[in-house]
Every structure is written in structure tokens, then in C-alpha cells.
A and B are shown apart, each in its own frame.
Chain A
Amino acid sequence: DSGVTQTPKHLITATGQRVTLRCSPRSGDLSVYWYQQSLDQGLQFLIQYYNGEERAKGNILERFSAQQFPDLHSELNLSSLELGDSALYFCASSGGLAVYNEQFFGPGTRLTVL
């Protein structure tokens, strides 16, 4: 158990809908990262937050947005869903901003868009 929790574990929805994925980092970790794992594109970085502020952005679609709240939990919002958004979404957390800090991964949310 990494200490990172993600809810829900599974999500099935229809095209055009909007969903919210939730992540609680390990106790004390200030950085939260979101990654998408799909068969087409592998594991891709989406976005990073540090202590409530956006720190780095990857190839995140404009239909996707995220935020980190004062209690440090984070939410990833996916809207106008398409079939291609079906993937495993991971949240990870780390203690700081150093590049060598270990990122601890949650179990993921599996999103299926029908």
C-alpha cells in the first residue's frame, strides 16, 4: 500500500459526459501528479500540482482540468468524454520538488467510455 488513495476504482460512462477522479496523497506529501495509461500511448504525464499551485503540464487535453485543494487532495475533471479517453488514470504524490524524489503511485481509476 503506497498510502495514495484514488476513488473511484472503476468508472463507466458515456461519450459526452463529465467525470471527476479524486486523489488523496500520502500524508505530508505536497506534490500530486496525474498520469494516463492507455494501450495506444502508454504512460503519459498529464499535470503536476505543488501545494495547491499548478507546477508542470504535460499533454493534457483542454477538455481535462485538475486542481489541488487546501487539504492537498486533488481532483482531475474530464469533460466531453470520447471513446479514446478510456484509460487507467494514476495519481502519484511526492514530498517535494526535487527531481530525485520518489513518486508514490495510487492504484488508479479505470475509466471506460462507452
Chain B
Amino acid sequence: AQSVTQLGSHVSVSEGALVLLRCNYSSSVPPYLFWYVQYPNQGLQLLLKYTTGATLVKGINGFEAEFKKSETSFHLTKPSAHMSDAAEYFCAVSDGVGGSSGDKLTFGTGTRLAVRP
């Protein structure tokens, strides 16, 4: 079974500061990794995903994440926080290998990001 651990349920940064949200995964097969963002009263929106290839993945809204196999990590970063980044962020790993096993997502517990003016 695959799992995801997000360290820090709440992170607070100042506007303009670096954002770092931590995600570690456990997987018995090569993982497919995702970061989703959830704004209040909305569904989840994909920020970025890692499938294969380049380990540094760029996403929307200036976010990026680096897949580090040796550390089983997929931390999310943004160089300069903006007030509009305040939301809840979820790291997820794809379970199974697709096909008849399905491709469900296993989510971490989420990190709520607050941005101080």
C-alpha cells in the first residue's frame, strides 16, 4: 500500500517569503506524485504532477516540486508567497498501476497555508 505524509498541518509565511510544504511518500512501485490545492468551498485543483523524467516539476501559479527518490520526498516550493496562495494543499500518490487495479489517489492530511501581509 502507498501512503503520504505531510509534515506540518499549518504553515504561515509572510507575503514575499519562500513557501515550503513538505511531503514524503511510501511506495512499493515507482510513484506518480501530485500536489493539489483546495481553496475555501471549492474542489481540488491540480498544481503539478510527477510521472517520469525530469525530477524538478513546474506547475501553475509559480509552484514547483522536486522528486527525490533517495529521500522519498516531493516537497512543494514557491519563491515568493502571495496573499492569493492562502489555501489548503494536498500531496497525493497514485495507487496501483492503472488498468484493472485502478488509479486512485492516496492523499496526505493536508497543509493549510496562511500568508501574512
Contacts and interface: CB of A to CB of B under 8 A. Distances in A.
A61 interface: no
A11 interface: no
Interface string B64-104: 00000000000000000000000000100011111111111
Contacts, number: 66
Given A42-B110, A56-B96, A97-B98, A103 B105 contact: yes
The winner among B41, B95, B98, B99 for most chain A CB atoms within 10 A is B98
Interface of B: 32, 36, 41-46, 49, 51, 90, 94-110
30 contacts: A2-B43, A2-B45, A33-B104, A33-B105, A42-B107, A43-B90, A43-B110, A44-B107, A45-B95, A45-B104, A45-B105, A48-B104, A55-B100, A56-B102, A58-B104, A90-B44, A97-B98, A98-B98, A98-B103, A99-B98, A100-B49, A100-B51, A100-B94, A102-B46, A103-B46, A103-B105, A104-B46, A105-B43, A107-B42, A107-B43
Contact of B43 (A44, A50, A90): A90
A48 B109 CA distance: 21
Contact of A43 (B32, B49, B102, B107): B107
A45 B106 contact: yes
Provide the main secondary structure of the chain A interface: strand
Interface string A84-111: 0000001010100111111111111000
Given A99-B103, A100-B51, A108 B110 contact: no
A51 B65 CA distance: 33
A4 interface: yes
